[in-house]
Amino acid sequence: MRTDRRPNVLVFIPHDLGDYLHCYGHPTVRSPHLDELASEGVRFTSYFTSAPECTSSRGCMMTGRHSHQHGLMGLCWFGWDIFPRVPHLAARLRDAGYQTHLFGMQHETDGPPDRLGYLHNHPSPGCHAANVCRDLVEFLRSTDARSGSPWFACAGFKQVHRPWDNTSAFAPDAVNVPPYLPDNPTIRDDLTHFHQDILEMDTAIGEVLSELRRSDVGERTMVVFTTDHGAAFPHAKATFYDPGIHIPLIVHWPGHMEGGREFNELLSNVDFTPTILDCCGLDVPGDIPGRSFLPLIRGEPYHDREAVYGALFYDVSYDPMHYVRTGTHKYIRSFAVTPEDAEGADERVLATFVAGRWIRVDDADVMSSPAWQSMDVDCSRPLREELYDLARDPWEQRNLVESPEAQSVLHGLRYRLRRMMEDTQSPLLDGHVAPPRKQVEQGRHCRERLGIG
């Protein structure tokens, strides 16, 4: 679609939320303002990140490419950066005449945000949601926001990243413990602080949404809420299990989307950039795996994805993996869990696997959490292949790789994954990904702090 009047675009992106909103089926979570946004806009129920780590995932979201295509195969302050030839969404919109604003934090470069295409930077103390949203409200009241020139604003929060340093109003016996975690007092207490952080973030966003409703700016503004990956709990963040890759996507665009609708089609966060470009009346690049789902929203011809894909390389450590997920099954292939597969990798950065399949790439936030410290679980070394029937086993507890009944599905997903790796030129086809010097140094310090280095 091409429009004479291009919309303003406001994107909210917190840290480490997973799908933990009330409107995404978490009954003990309180997120009234985001729930209302979903009821007024559209909600996507099968939206998945291509990478379960913050820098990599945001790179996928903001470029329309997988992490090995945009260059952020590890954390930006561990020496990784976007390839010079790959434009960020902010840069694409800036070049198309948009005023581009960063409120709070970004996670795609260790350098200044103008490298990404942001013309205006609005840093907030601690990047807490309340501070970021206060600055956003002031911006919405300004002549810059009301001038009529289109703008793009990305609001990044520290919340709901650990540590959760708050006093929680939630009682431990009143929160739901997800089935993939043991039910013990420490985990329940941990979840109360997580719930509180979500509520405080939602309250701050509510102030911005109220300002938009009071202002004529809101009529010209598309509001998007999403996150980077799963919550910082075992079996979630830094893994390819659904709690690590299933994320919310809520879009509200007055006059262009029928409110209260839900879409269940499979979508990837590499589809984010092409969709935003399409909504802004700009051409969608033909050389990226991401594709616009605006036709889906508008009821126009749209070819559903049969599968979504992802890649994981570095966080504290190196644990290379790819996944493919259909509507019914998931296949995960690890490329360095056996000595044979790990041959040629830099031994200084290899994952320890002390957490087994629960926490990949030795993610420090999860491994230092009270939840993980309270758990007494089997941490046998992960297997190089995993296959799950998501209809019968939604929490991915039974690996079907050796099951005779699942062999046809396994072969089909192996083929799909191989095609994805070839089409996107995964470096794992030719060997292992070497770390930058900073990755080696920073990773060693983190592992020593965790007591595993």
CATH fold group of domain 8-298: Alkaline Phosphatase, subunit A (3.40.720)
Share of the chain above pLDDT 70, in %: 99
pLDDT at 5: 76
- pLDDT tens-digit series, residues 337-376: 999 999 999 999 999 999 999 999 999 999 999 999 999 9
- Locate 172 and state its tokens: 């431990």
SS3 239: coil
One-letter amino acid for residue 76 of the chain:
C
Instruction: State the pLDDT confidence band at 2, using cuts at 50, 70 and 90.
Output: very low
Instruction: State the pLDDT confidence band at 259, using cuts at 50, 70 and 90.
Output: confident
Over residues 207-236, mean pLDDT? 97
- pLDDT tens-digit series, residues 46-95: 999 999 999 999 999 999 999 999 999 999 999 999 999 999 999 999 99
SS3 197: helix
Distance, in Å, from the CA atom of 430 to the CA atom of 440, rounded to the nearest integer, reads 21
Task: Provide CATH 3.40.720.10 ranges for the chain.
Answer: 8-298
- Locate 34 and state its tokens: 């985001």
Matching residue, tokens 């990949």: 360
- pLDDT tens-digit series, residues 28-51: 999 999 999 999 999 999 999 999
Q: Tally DSSP H helices, then E strands, for the chain.
A: 15, 14
Structure letter (DSSP) for residue 319: E
148 vs 425, higher pLDDT: 425
pLDDT at 369: 97
Q: ω into residue 349 within 30 of 0, thus cis?
A: no
Instruction: State the pLDDT confidence band at 258, using cuts at 50, 70 and 90.
Output: confident
Instruction: State the pLDDT confidence band at 378, using cuts at 50, 70 and 90.
Output: confident
Average pLDDT score over the chain: 96
Dihedral over Cα of 137, 143, 144, 148: its sign? positive
pLDDT at 257: 86
Asked if residue 1 has pLDDT above 90, the reply is: no
Give the global pTM: 0.97
Residues 342, 321: contact at Cβ < 8 Å?
no
Over residues 289-303, mean pLDDT? 95
